[in-house]
Chain A
Amino acid sequence: MDVFVNLVLFAMLVSTAFAILQMRRLFGVVMMAGVFSLLSALLFVTLDAVDVAFTEAAVGAGISTVLMLGTMALTSRDEKLPRKSSVIPILVVMITGAVLIYGTLDMPDFGSANSAAQTHVAADYLERTPKDTGVPNVVTAILASYRGYDTFGEVVVVFTAAIAVLVLIGGLARRKDDEEETH
């Protein structure tokens, strides 16, 4: 039953990705990207990652869609027909995919309880969190307490992105005849 749900979600994700590839109206592309984010949030829930699903649904289907629609209103509505041939991209993509699949051949099975990822640090955190912090949500405890320094770096990155966007498009659009006069 689990496998069936995952396969259905994955089939919908792949068909959404192919629809994005084919569509030329950018409005449809942006909406499909929002659908992709929501479907991936569902997939995260079936993989037991509820915090990640929450964040992905809010960020991907909310903020990302609004910003892309804002960009579309300021740039253009349709994509031009691609003129160059797509043989080289397909070749590059297939070689990269083959190398990645070769790399996963000796990874542990899906869901195995004694793989290297589950045994050392994670088991230690799961055991120590009730005693050290008394916080039931282990993900918040790791994010804010055990790995608090990384989260500080992340907040600074978000702040830097805001500054960069304000520098780029914070002021009003300069008129074109102003620029031609100064040349």
Chain B
Amino acid sequence: MMEFVLGHMNYWLFIILMMTGFYIVVARGNFVKKIVGLNIFQTSVFMFYISIGKVAGGTAPIYPIDLNVDPSVTYSNPLPHVLILTAIVVGVATTALGLALIIRIREAYDTIEEEDILEIEQAMQRKENAIEGSAMGGRA
């Protein structure tokens, strides 16, 4: 029982971090904070994935420079590292794009809070319904 908890504790700790990032995305209205929460979620997913590839007693998967491979040394799994390298760079690309969109939203609505933008959109929709309703004789 104790070994089971110790063996799986790393997964559960990273899931706690993931849920913190997820909560920031869902519960906070400011767009910049949502992007920061998304980054927290993303980084904890990377940690989860890399902890799958760790071998106890292993070392980083880089051979000595003259390529004399010592058969008694265990190396950690290099494949998750490659996948996560790609994922980190793709993540920064999407973060840059999200931030550019926030700048344009601010120029269009003059605010970056989700509730304020919802109110502005609803007011615009009500005005449009009123205008089109009067053109059709009172029915929108």
Q: Is the interface of B mostly helix, strand, loop or mixed?
A: helix
**B47 touching A126, Cβ below 8 Å:** no
Decide if B39 touches A168 in the complex (CB within 8 Å): no
Could you tell me if A150 and B86 are in contact, using CB atoms closer than 8 angstroms? yes
Residues of A within 8 A of B54 (CB): 47-48, 110-111
**Number of A residues with CB within 8 Å of any CB on chain B:** 90
Asked, given contacts A112-B56, A113-B56, A136-B63, whether A101 binds B12 with beta carbons under 8 Å apart, the answer is yes
CA distance A26 to B35 in the complex (A): 12
- Given known pairs A79-B28, A97-B15, the reply for A110 and B55 (CB within 8 Å) is no
The residues of B that contact A75 with a CB separation of less than 8 Å are: 32, 102-103, 106, 112
CB–CB B52/A117 < 8 A: yes
Q: Is B29 an interface residue (CB 8 A)?
A: yes
Q: Which B23-51 residues have a C-beta within 8 angstroms of A? A: 23-24, 26-30, 32-33, 35-37, 39-40, 43-44, 46-47, 50-51
Interface residues of A in 59-115 (CB under 8 A from B): 59-60, 63-64, 67-68, 70-72, 74-76, 79-80, 82-84, 86, 89-90, 92-94, 96-97, 100-101, 104-105, 107, 109-113, 115
Known contacts A71-B99, A80-B30, A110-B54; decide if A97 and B36 are in contact (CB<8 Å): no
B33: which of A79, A129, A130, A157 is its contact (CB, 8 Å)? A79
Besides the contacts A20-B24, A55-B85, what 6 more A-B pairs have beta carbons closer than 8 Å? A37-B43, A64-B95, A111-B56, A117-B52, A136-B62, A147-B82
Chain A positions near chain B (C-beta within 8 angstroms):
3, 6, 10, 13-14, 17-18, 20-21, 26, 29-30, 33, 36-37, 40, 43-44, 47-52, 55-56, 59-60, 63-64, 67-68, 70-72, 74-76, 79-80, 82-84, 86, 89-90, 92-94, 96-97, 100-101, 104-105, 107, 109-113, 115, 117-118, 121-122, 125-126, 129-130, 134, 136-139, 142-143, 147, 150-151, 154, 157-158, 160-161, 164-165, 168-169, 173
